[in-house]
Amino acid sequence: MNFSVTILGSGAALPTKNRMPTAQYVNCNNRHFLIDCAEGTQLQLRKYKINFQKISHIFISHLHGDHYFGLVGLLSTMNLLGREKELFIHGPKELQDFIMPMLRFGGARLAFNLNFIALNTTDKIKIYEDPVLEVHSFPLKHKIPTCGFIIKEKKKALKINPKKIKEKNLKIEHFKALQNGKDIILENGEEISFKDVTLPPTDVLSYAYCSDTKKNLKVVEFIKEVTVLYHEATFLIKDQKRANSTFHSSTKDAALIASKANVKKLVVGHLSSRYKTNDAHTEELQNLFTNSQVAEDGLCIDLAKEQSRS
Amino acid sequence: MNFSVTILGSGAALPTKNRMPTAQYVNCNNRHFLIDCAEGTQLQLRKYKINFQKISHIFISHLHGDHYFGLVGLLSTMNLLGREKELFIHGPKELQDFIMPMLRFGGARLAFNLNFIALNTTDKIKIYEDPVLEVHSFPLKHKIPTCGFIIKEKKKALKINPKKIKEKNLKIEHFKALQNGKDIILENGEEISFKDVTLPPTDVLSYAYCSDTKKNLKVVEFIKEVTVLYHEATFLIKDQKRANSTFHSSTKDAALIASKANVKKLVVGHLSSRYKTNDAHTEELQNLFTNSQVAEDGLCIDLAKEQSRS
């Protein structure tokens, strides 16, 4: 099964030639999510050939414009292109009051159900669950109420050892019980222990998103051991004071959180437009957290690969 | 003096690889205006190297998203980049109610004065005037209240004939009276008739914007004899029925209005995303109105050149 994150915008508030403001597309076992939706997100989705009609849930971290000004345009376009599939938007409670009057006044009668769900911005809360994964929101520390998100696969079933299928004459109808750790009796009376015919499950993968936020050690417990952490690093260490005063993070802050949470890989983004390249961020990160990377627009992170690398 | 219009977005509601939705930048004698402001307008302004902090007035034709969803982002960016210069926004009265809560909630304390002026959507009204030009709004016929705009230079002063300056020993302090058609007496007692030392003024230039609208003959009186008319032609003639039912125009409709108003040049835009190229529009237009052109993103129309060509 696949679990990938595509960075649609890796910049901070001011869009530049190289970096659009924040949005990310997550495909987790063919569940399709969008995290944040800055101005131009619909164009980025097109650019990277993502079928945005498949998106079922949109998570908006907070109401600074560079994280949601593209939402109303994306919803309009989804509607114009004939969307019928229900859509869920999780965001600060005021979001609905901003978006709905604009859609209504424009005369767009949505042909799909649009559900706004207010985020709890003070506690860690499960906001989505299905048989294979869960999504939680948790509070970050920014100028206005802001949430991070964690998308985590559930414990996976055991794998049938392909070598044992012929040897034990297993049929497909036997698999489910064995994969769930139950012994079975074949029609010929033979007892089969699940331990003899299965292999360990593939690793549970997880992705955490922390943007925007100042350094916040409370976050560590929420994102412990995730496969990939995306954490903002708007500033370099030399601009740490500015990071603190604007409720943002430096590379050092991001690396500290990644280190304390023992994540496998750190990706930093939300780079201030004052930095013309990502060279300085990359250099600083190399000394702070080994398995790390600076995000770029279009970067596609394959979580299974990151897990197997570490 | 210069008078140019840069097409920032020539497409209809759905942005495509080639066409962004509607926005136009007008530089009229160093007055800087923006007409409409679709999602992505701030990126287009950057792309075409336009200093958007110079813009003093923004005119929003109507509240369909493809004409204003980029406004809140542009205002935020202007503020982040340190704008102090006052800004005037003319648009439907509800616009302010949509934009201001988003700016306020995001915590953006605007460092510049932002003035919303409600458009009258039923009559032709003068909405701006200074010593060299006037802007009027006038009603169009669309699904929701919509205005067109006309930007027109005022009658210009006569030009001093350069050959006569030495011959008559004219000094700069004599120019203004002569240019305004007044005779003068030099210090040596010589009488100078303005007719002898001046040339006719350069032509008065004017630009009219009609988008979005169905064919509306009432518009003709408002835009009579303009130098350049930008009129929407969302559809080709073969899709005339669809143009009518969606309150849009075909190439034929646009050409009829241009012809009845006796404009010098017609530029059509707001092309539906169903047309992959502008070939068919161009072909139809050639047979309908000789001096015409299909808009493309980045097209810069120099009105003085268009005037001299015709």
Domain ranges of chain B: 3-156+202-309, 159-199
DSSP class per residue in A245-290: HTT--BHHHHHHHHHHTT-SEEEEE-B-TT-SSSHHHHHHHHHH-S
Predicted confidence band of residue A45 (pLDDT cuts 50, 70, 90)? very high
Note whether B42 contacts A39, CB cutoff 8 Å.
yes
- Determine the straight-line distance between the first and last CA of chain A, rounded to whole angstroms: 19
Q: For chains A and B, what is the number of CB pairs under 8 angstroms?
A: 89
> Which residue in the set A43, A66, A106 is minimally distant from B15, CB to CB?
A43
Residues composing chain B: 310
Contacts of A105 in chain B (CB under 8 A): 63, 94, 98, 144
Residue A107: its pLDDT value, please? 74
Is-contact B138 B152, C-beta < 8 A?
Answer: no
Q: Alpha carbon of B113 to those of A22, B27, B79: distances in Å? A: 28, 22, 11
> Which residue in the set B39, B64, B108 is minimally distant from A40, CB to CB?
B39
The answer to ipTM > 0.95 is no
Which residue is catalytic, options A66, A212, A253, A297? A66
Burial class (CB in 10 A: 0-12, 13-18, 19+), B122: exposed
Spatial strand order of the sheet with A3-9 comes to: A114-118, A87-91, A57-59, A31-37, A23-28, A3-9, A300-302
pLDDT for A2-27, tens place per residue?
A: 999 999 999 999 999 899 999 999 99
Task: Tell me the nearest-neighbour CA distance from A172 into chain B, angstroms.
Answer: 47
For A63, the token pair is: 């109401």
Task: Tell me the nearest-neighbour CA distance from B47 into chain A, angstroms.
Answer: 8
Asked if B70 is an interface residue toward chain A (Cβ–Cβ < 8 A), one would say yes
Contacts of B13 in chain A (CB under 8 A): 76-77, 80
* A41-50, A100-109, A156-165, B69-78: least confidently modelled range: A100-109
Helix (H, G, I), strand (E, B) or coil at A158: coil
Out of 3.60.15.10, 3.40.50.300, 3.20.20.150, 3.40.50.720, which CATH number does the structure's domain B3-156+202-309 have?
Answer: 3.60.15.10
Let me know if B66 is a catalytic residue: yes
**Residue B310: pLDDT above 70?**
no
Backbone CA torsion sign across A8, A10, A16, A20: positive
Asked if B91 is an interface residue toward chain A (Cβ–Cβ < 8 A), one would say no
**Residue B199: pLDDT above 80?**
yes
Residue A169: its pLDDT value, please? 87
Averaged pLDDT for residues B84-101:
96
**Residue A310: pLDDT above 70?**
no
Averaged pLDDT for residues B270-291:
96
Query: What's the CA gap between B257 and B223, in Å, rounded?
Result: 9
Asked if B73 is an interface residue toward chain A (Cβ–Cβ < 8 A), one would say yes
Q: Alpha carbon of A18 to those of A39, A271, A278, B19: distances in Å? A: 15, 11, 11, 20
Asked if B245 is an interface residue toward chain A (Cβ–Cβ < 8 A), one would say no
Reported pTM: 0.93
Is-contact B82 B91, C-beta < 8 A?
Answer: no
**Residue B255: pLDDT above 70?**
yes
Averaged pLDDT for residues A189-195:
93
Asked if A94 is an interface residue toward chain B (Cβ–Cβ < 8 A), one would say yes
Note whether B106 contacts A72, CB cutoff 8 Å.
no
Residue-averaged pLDDT of chain A: 95
Say what angle helices B71-80 and B95-105 make with each other, to 10 degrees.
40
Query: What's the CA gap between B120 and B125, in Å, rounded?
Result: 7
Note whether A106 contacts B63, CB cutoff 8 Å.
yes
Averaged pLDDT for residues B51-69:
98
